[in-house]
Structure 1
Amino acid sequence: MNKNCRRIWLEGTRLLDAGLVKGTALHRQMYDDGTMRLSTHRTHDGDKRHTVAGKGDRPILDLCGKWVTAFIGDHTHFTVEVRTHDGDAVALYITPATI
């Protein structure tokens, strides 16, 4: 939690393995099925943009705010699936989950 808002925090090897390093721009797109896509490929002019932070061997993706609280809802966790699309673009598909 950050200022009473939920947080999605990804770091390290998982991001490196996907080719996501410090400074990588990711564009957010929300789907009606409750999935969020963060992609290196910009798909719409209105996409929200997030940037990978951190250091060389420890990139960090920190998503927080009221929008994350609304996205996660009553779920306790989230799942992340890494996919490549459009040739070399990388996308993270994040879905709320309860474990």
Structure 2
Amino acid sequence: MSDTLPPTLSGTARMLRSAYPAGIPGSAYFPVLAVLYEHFSDRNLAELMAAVMGKDAAVVLNDIYACASSKPASAAIAAAKRLLEQHGLQAICAED
């Protein structure tokens, strides 16, 4: 599915699939959104997560707004960030 994403998002989609080969579990979804939020526009993050999660981008956009207004627990965000860092988050963030 990442081949339908623009090149600017496909690398991040690969990173997410590498970090979560069985899919992003519900418990990690909002922490992952929180980690990625500062690196992507709302629209790009919605498009990215919709492709990775198999959700509608409009639904993901609403999830992004909910996450931004009520952040997940800092421990959950830190855990998601550590995992994503092991799979190349720094390289993705350096591109933005």
* TM-score bucket (shorter structure): under 0.3
TM-score, normalised via structure 1 length: 0.26
Query: Would you tell me which structure has more helix in proportion to its own residues?
Result: 2
Query: Would you tell me which structure has more strand in proportion to its own residues?
Result: 1
Higher relative contact order (CA 8 A, sep 6+): 2
